[in-house]
A and B are shown apart, each in its own frame.
Chain A
C-alpha cells in the first residue's frame, strides 16, 4: 500500500502557482519523498525528490516540513500542459519498488 495521502483532485488557474500537498506521516529517517506526474495517455514522468531540505529544479519546487511528515510540490506558474495526475511517493533508493497511490488529479484552467 502507498504510504502517502493526497487530495483526489485540485484545480489551478493558468499562470498561478499550483501547490500540491502530500501527507507521509509514517516516513522513516532514510526514506526520500519523490514526485512523479502522468499526463493523459503517457507514462509517468519524474519531477523531483528530496530527503530533508527543500529542493528546486527547472520543473518544480519541493518543500518538506521540518518533521518530514508532509510535503508540498509547487509548480510556480502552471500552464495547461501541467494538467496531469501527480503522485507523491516515499521510499528508499536501491531495490525497493516504487509504490504508487492514486495521486492528485490537477486541472489547470485557462
Chain B
C-alpha cells in the first residue's frame, strides 16, 4: 500500500514570500491532517479535514495560513506571507476515520530566511 506522499521535501524562501505544500493521502482515507513541527518539539496540529470539510482549524494562523482539500483527496497548505518563525517541518497525515491511528508522510522542511 502506498503511503502518504508530500512535496516538495525541502523548500527555502525569504520572509514575506509565499509557499505551498502538497499532500496526497493514502487512498480511501477520509481524514487528513496537517501538522507543524518546530525543531526539538513534537508535531502540532494545524488543521484536520474530514473528506473535504474542516473539522478543526483552531490552531491554524488564519491571517497567513490557508489549506484546502478539494474533492476530499489531495490537500494543499499555503503560507502567505511567510515569517522567520514558520521555519519548521510540515507533516501531512491521514487516517481511514477520525482515530489516533494516523499515517504520516515524510514531511516538507521549510526554511525561511
User: Using a CB–CB distance below 8 Å, which chain A residues touch chain B?
Assistant: 2, 32, 34, 41-46, 49, 87, 89, 91, 93-95, 97-103
Contact = CB atoms under 8 A, between A and B. Distances in A.
A49 B102 CA distance: 12
Nearest to B43: A100
B93 A93 contact: no
A42 B106 contact: yes
Contacts of B106: 41-43
B45 A98 contact: yes
A43 B56 contact: no
B101 A43 contact: no
Contacts of A34: 100
B54 to A, nearest CB: 11
Given A87-B42, A100-B44, A46 B102 contact: yes
B66 to A, nearest CB: 19
Interface residues of B, number: 24
B43 A97 contact: no
Contact of B104 (A44, A91, A101): A44
Contact of B100 (A45, A49, A102): A49
Interface of B: 4, 33, 40-45, 48, 50, 55-56, 91, 93, 98-107
B16 to A, nearest CB: 28
B1 to A, nearest CB: 14
Contact of A93 (B42, B99, B105): B99
13 contacts: A2-B42, A32-B100, A42-B104, A42-B107, A43-B91, A43-B106, A49-B101, A95-B48, A95-B56, A98-B33, A100-B44, A102-B41, A103-B42
A93 B101 CA distance: 9
Given A93-B99, A98-B100, A44 B91 contact: yes
Contacts of B91: 43-44
Nearest to A2: B42
Given A43-B4, A95-B56, A95-B98, A100 B103 contact: no
